[in-house]
Amino acid sequence: MRFETIKASMYLVWKLKFAGITIKQDGGDIILVELPIGETASIHLIESPIEVYEIKSILNDNDRKGYYTLFVLWCDLLLPPEGHVVETYDWERALLALYDNRIYAFEIAGSEVYIFAVHFDPEGSYRHIRYGNTLHMADLGAAVVSGSPYLNGTWRVARFAAGTRHTSQQTGGRYSTSVPGSLQAYYDLLELAADADADTVKVAYRRLARLYHPDINQSADATAKMQAINEAYEQIMKQFEDS
């Protein structure tokens, strides 16, 4: 197992524990956890190309044990860059069928680790790649889904609730906390929930900076976007400094 995967595994275990999820077994690239609903999920960190038969073998093995399966892939090595329009491989189609047009990923950037969803949005016969927000481990749940022509059958999968990060104003939702109207736009810009703590804000800022810093992003609006991100970060962090 590569150093980067070990680092991602350690970070993931820490975030899961912080979210109140019980770690039943830490095998490095395979982590068994107990979900809040009492079910067991088997999380597999994938650092090398994977074939459909391997995906099915893991699903079958976990299904026999009553486990729900979550695959998390090393983004830089295995998944397309953000903004690209691509054709998909069979193994990608298999995972997309399991996870509602998403593939979960980890990324290493210096001392930082990010766990997020890579969205494969349909665009004709192709897919447009869009990187999602940093995931909240407390949103991890279980579902039973039907496969696809590439993955026949019905499977137990662990996955993150879609859209939970953007429900800060709903009543009865996971994020019922509100923020002052003057700050809401800043939270939205950084793609944050209203109850995000300072560490989560910092992670969101660093990830967006990697996407939009003019030294990296050559698009015409990168500078303006980065300036807006900087302002949002500064304004949000002020409330933590003042509290």
Residue-by-residue pLDDT tens, the chain, 243 positions: 788 899 999 999 999 998 899 999 999 999 999 998 899 999 999 999 999 999 999 999 999 999 999 999 999 899 998 889 999 999 999 999 999 999 999 988 766 788 999 999 999 999 999 888 788 898 999 999 987 788 888 999 999 985 433 333 332 322 334 455 568 888 888 888 877 888 888 888 888 888 888 877 888 888 888 888 988 888 888 887 765
Q: Please tell us whether the domain made up of 165-237 is placed in CATH 1.10.287.110.
A: yes
What whole-number distance in Å separates Cα of residue 241 and Cα of residue 243? 6
What whole-number distance in Å separates Cα of residue 201 and Cα of residue 100? 27
Q: Is 21 left (phi over 0), alpha (psi -120 to 50) or beta?
A: beta
Residue 230 CB neighbour total at 10 angstroms: 14
Q: Please tell us whether the domain made up of 3-162 is placed in CATH 3.40.1350.10.
A: yes
Residue-range domain boundaries for the chain: 3-162, 165-237
